[in-house]
Amino acid sequence: MIAVAPGQSGDAPALLPLLSRLCVTRPVGRPRTRPDAVRGDKAYSSRAIRSHLRDRGIRAVIPQRRDQQAHRKRRGSRGGRPPGFDAVDYKGRNVVERRFCDVKQWRGLATRYDKLAVVFRAAVVLNAVVSWTQRCL
């Protein structure tokens, strides 16, 4: 699934709408709408995102920002427990980062020349199709 957010906004606010539209078809049975885990960098470390993932039963593999760690430690025993973090699973995030590097080889996608989101999304889909066919050959 490819979703496009405004160019001037961050990625973290777009995560929750993206998760609500997630639908992965399977050969047999209903499509999956809930992943086992979500890997993200420190930008996705917010209370709203973590609570949403916890409510849906999705494991969050997101490191905590230093200011959040300091705030929790400053509160002492009222700061609560640190969120769980699986460092081994987090190493799998490099696959996504490498894909972003491949996408940014297309100059129009890296600099986002297109004004309309529909045109930009079409370029992203075209890039995905081209890279998929190159890997299959």
How many Å is the maximal CA-CA distance in the chain?
Answer: 57
- Residues 127, 10 contacting (CB under 8 angstroms): no
pLDDT for res 52:
93
pLDDT for res 56:
92
Domain ranges in the chain are 104-137
Scanning the chain, the segments in alpha helix (DSSP H) are 15-20, 47-56, 66-74, 87-90, 94-103, 107-111, 117-136
pLDDT for res 55:
93
**Axis crossing angle, helix 117-136 with helix 94-103, rounded to the nearest 10:** 110
Helix (H) or strand (E) holding 38: strand 37-39
The span from the CA of 18 to the CA of 13, in Å, is 9
pLDDT for res 57:
92
Q: Per-residue pLDDT for the chain (137 aa), expressed as one digit of tens each?
A: 777 777 777 888 888 888 888 888 889 999 988 988 898 888 888 889 999 999 999 999 999 888 888 888 888 888 777 788 888 888 888 888 888 888 888 888 888 877 788 888 898 899 889 988 888 77
